[in-house]
Homo-oligomer: A and B are copies of this chain.
Amino acid sequence: MRTHVGEVLALFREHGELSRTEVIDISGLSRSTVNQRLAALESAGLIAEIGGGESTGGRPSSRFALNRSRGVLLTADIGATGLIAAVCDLAGSPLRHRTVRVDVWEGPERVLGEVDRAFDELIEGDLVWGIGIGVPGPVEFAAGRVVNPPIMTGWDRFDIAGWFDRFEVPVVVENDANSRAVAEARPLRHDNLISMKVGTGIGSGLVFNGQIIRGSEGAAGDIGHTRAALADSATPLGCRCGNVGCVEAYAGGWALVRDLDAAGTSVEHVADVVTLVRQGDIEAVRLVRQAGRVLGDAVADLVSILNPESIVLSGQLAECGEVLLSGVRERVYQRSLPLATRNLTIRVSKLGELAGVTGLAIITADQLFATDRIDELLERIG
C-alpha cells in the first residue's frame, strides 16, 4: 500500500486545507488513486479530516489538512552569544521555546550540551520526528556539519548530526541566516527573497527559485564584509575581519556601539542602541539612519543583480523599525535599477527572534516529507 503518498502530502503542505475533489483537480490523479492515498495518509495520522465543508448544491465535501501535531520537530538556533531551542509542530510553528545564554566559541560539546538540556526540558512526551540545528557559520548541508567557520572556534567538521543520534531521527544542520530566509519566504510563497540579519554583525540569507542559495562551500550570504559605499567620509574604517571598508564596519551593531561611545554616549551593547533610538536620542537616530543608508547601498547592488521580490530585515537593529528602514529604502530606490524595484517590498520581519527556529522546522519538515523519503518516515511511525 505504501505508494507515492508524498506528492499528495506535499499538496497539503502547500495549500493547507483541501477536499478530495480539490486534490483530484490539482494533482490530476484519479478519484480512486486519491482515495487510496488519502486513506494511507489518514491511517498513518499524517493528515486528518477537519470540519465538513459547505455544500455547493450537492453533497458537502469532507475537508482534510496536515495533522500538524502528529509529531514535533526540535530546533535550536545557535547564535554567537546565545541560543534559542524550540519545540515546533510539523507545519513549522514554534509551540514552546527556551533561551540559553552561551558563547559559541566555548565549543560544540559545551553548546550542544546546552541544546540537549533545553530539548529535555521542552519535550513533554512529544513524539520527536526530526531535529534542525542552525549555526552562525558555513555549513556542508549534506554532511550535517560546519566547515571552515570564521567565528565558530572548535566546530570545524564536528559531526553535529551525530550528536543527536540518540533520538534516532533525521537531523538537518543549516546556516542561521538561511533558515531565517526560509521562514520569511515560505509562508508568503515568495520564490525570490533576501533576508538580512542586522545584529552585532551583518549576514544574509538568500532564497531564489524557491531554494536556499548556499554557494559551492556553504559560504554564501556574507554581505557584511562586502565593500561599503564611502559617500564623503574619506576614512575607510577598519573591520573586525581584518579588512577595511566593510559594510559591517559602518552599519553593524558593534560599529554603532563604537560610534555612539566615541560621541560621548555610554553604550555597551546593541540593545542599548535600540533603546536610545526608541527614546528618540538624536545622535543614535542619526547613526542608525546613516547605517541604514550604508546597508541600503550594499543591498541596492544586490537588488540590481538578483532582482528579489522582497527584502526582509531582522536581527536586533531591525527593532529600530522605520529609522533603519528609511535609510535602506532611500538608497535602494535611488541606486537600484527601476526595473528591479518596481515590485520590490522592503520591510522588517514580523517573526522576530523566532524566525530562526521556525525556518529550521520548515527545512527539517522539507527533508522528512521529501517524496523520496516519505516511505522511511511511514516505516518509522508504523
Q: A interface vs B, CB < 8 Å? A: 138, 148, 150, 191-192, 204, 206, 208-209, 211, 213-223, 225-227, 229-230, 241, 243, 297-298, 300-302, 304-309, 335, 337, 339-340, 342-343
Contacts and interface: CB of A to CB of B under 8 A. Distances in A.
A245 to B, nearest CB: 9
- Mostly, the A contact residues are loop
B243 A335 contact: yes
Contact of A301 (B206, B226, B335): B226
9 contacts: A192-B216, A208-B215, A215-B308, A216-B343, A217-B343, A219-B337, A222-B305, A226-B300, A227-B335
B307 A215 contact: yes
Contacts of A219: 307, 337, 339-340
A211 B192 CA distance: 13
Which interface residue of A192, A208, A223, A305 has the most chain B CB atoms within 10 A? A305
A249 to B, nearest CB: 14
Given A150-B339, A209-B213, A306-B215, A227 B226 contact: no
B339 A138 contact: yes
A309 B215 CA distance: 8
A218 B150 CA distance: 34
A222 B335 CA distance: 13
A243 B339 CA distance: 14
B216 A191 contact: yes
Nearest to A309: B216
A215 B340 contact: yes
Contact of A220 (B148, B150, B211, B307): B307
Which interface residue of A216, A222, A298 has the most chain B CB atoms within 10 A? A216
Nearest to A208: B213
A340 B226 CA distance: 12
Nearest to A234: B234
A337 B222 contact: yes
Which 9 pairs, one residue from A and one from B, show the smallest C-beta to C-beta distance? Answer: A215-B307, A216-B309, A226-B301, A220-B307, A219-B307, A192-B216, A219-B339, A222-B304, A208-B213
Given A217-B339, A217-B343, A305 B308 contact: no
A222 B341 CA distance: 13
A310 to B, nearest CB: 8
A367 B150 CA distance: 41
